[in-house]
Amino acid sequence: MGILEWGLLVALFAAFAAGTISGLTGFGLALISVPLLLFVYEPQTVVLITVFISLVVNISVVRDSRRDADRGIVWAMLLPCLVGVIAGAEILRVVDPLYLRLFIGVFVVFSAVLLLRSIQIPGANTRWGPVLAGGASGALSTATGLAAPPVVLLLASREYAKRPFRGTSGLFFLFLSVFGLAALLLRGLIRPEDAVIATILLPAAMIGKYLGTRLLERISEKSFRLLTLVFTLVTGALGAATAVFALLG
């Protein structure tokens, strides 16, 4: 099997795994897919793939869990998120891809460790918590394709139960996907070849989403949290490691 075929298999697995986690939790698509897709594609392509697949998968998640979503906190995060999306698109233009990849991996690992240690985030229960989380999430979305950690930390710190967590994060990331795709389009960062790749990977992501939704009924709160964070930690570490090896080489 040639290099191109192996690359496609890795990308399909990344889309499937990301769809599964997103279907289960309402977030995590970028956390799983970005580090794995960076083995195969350059950061700009990975961002487009992630935003496109997130849009379609999150539409499906929101249909499943619209009654569980905390709409108040979603609305509070949206305007700061839009500002962040615009800033993140500019970051993508100027940051060296290797340093961007390293940042992605380190940020994911750091976020996962915080969640595994059940650390309360200072200020998370204030009115500024959603503002900061929304802005950071938007910037990370278009700059790295990695939007989940700020919102996940906020919801975890506020001790959301499994279903409201999934519904709230799913609704927020649906809006974020729309913002991100619009920003990339306006900045001329969407290339036809990237859109083709995203379309090829979409069925694998949707199959994974269906599996994740089924798993939600069977998994405990503790296992739900642990499984997601272990995936987050491992994929973040792999993304950071590839960047370090490239910089040292």
- In this predicted structure, what is the pLDDT of residue 97? 63
The Cα diameter of the chain in Å comes to 54
Q: So where are the chain's domains?
A: 3-248
Question: Is the separation of the CB atoms in 161 and 220 below 8 Å?
Answer: no
Q: Which amino acid is at 228?
A: T
12, 120, 132, 175 from 114: Cα distances, Å: 29, 9, 17, 26
For 87-96, 162-171, 193-202, which range has the lowest pLDDT when averaged over its residues? 87-96
In the predicted structure, residue 219 carries a pLDDT above the cut 70: yes
pLDDT tens column, 32-76? 888 788 888 888 888 889 888 989 999 999 998 888 999 999 999
Reported pTM: 0.79
Nearest to 81 by CA among 205, 19, 169: 169
pLDDT above 70: residue 145: no
